Structure 1
Amino acid sequence: MFEIEYKYQVDNASGVQYLDDVARDRLQHDKLVSISNMEQFYIVDDSNVALRVRIENKGTDKETRTLAIKGANSGISRLEIERELSKEEVIELRKLAISHLEKTRYKIDVGGWLWEFDVFLGKLAGKIYAEIEVNNEGDEFTMPNCDGMTLVDGREHSNAYLASLTVA
């Protein structure tokens, strides 16, 4: 119900090189788990709550659709509740969207820790973020073998905020 996550902004050139190395299995400890394409749109986005719909692997037999309610950050943790949606529900909710984004997510195992690298598309092309969810604040985890990662926090790095930048 509560997610605890660390988020890093990744230098584009370093991130692209790292993801290429992982995809080609050139790194000893960083192993690719999966790659998926995602579309996300937001129905509500303010400083206290975001209501997000995510479609992952659209048009494939692995397509998933989820609705997430995300509370405001409290340090590195926040409330997050998710549930699956039907295609019909997504169609109706899309009519209420105020912003959206598209990205490719790379899930990478680094020393037993699951990292997610998001490479943004469209108007956000060139932005790369990496994040890791932990069980408890202060948990020690293994960093990816990727240069140019800067720990960030704040609303300006949230997907909801980034999606608002794509609105014409």
Structure 2
Amino acid sequence: MNDLGDTFELTYKRLDTESIVNTVKDDGAGAIATFIGTTRNSFQGKSVTRLTYEAYTTLCMKSFEKIAWAARELPSQSKTTHTILSASPAGGDRLSKVAIHHRLGECPVGEASIVIAVSSPHRREAFEACEFILEEVKKKSQIWKREWYAEEGSDKNDAASWKENFPRVAKDGA
């Protein structure tokens, strides 16, 4: 936990969504937005059996903290009066608390691999921050994902491929 009450975790254990959400509860927050990323059972026509995640733990935890701080610095996209009143510079009261928890090791189909929870005085900021955090974690965190497939006749240990968390978009036809 940092000085702002944010929590960050990498764990080999199953993610407990309710306890993660409880870490961001705050009496001054009128909203809690969450994102729960789960392992799906298919990808581009292939049957997925599980995902496995690896991380450079020390660096990843630092990136989680930087991402949470950046979320606090976001200007609100909302045009409503309450947003103008709640926005403040330098990590002010725009967000109450942030939690970023990611599973490592094996993550079976249907189970959560990432849980992001954000509390805020107002819902718009919580939603915006939650989405921003997810995209930044995918782009900037030192986590690697391997997708395992159930392919007939193949060695179960070889039927897998490493995936980028944030696919790169080719520029100028490259």
Q: Which has the higher strand share?
A: 1
Instruction: Determine which structure has more spread, i.e. the larger CA radius of gyration.
Output: 2
TM-score scaled by structure 2? 0.21
TM-score scaled by structure 1? 0.21
Q: Which has the higher helix share?
A: 2
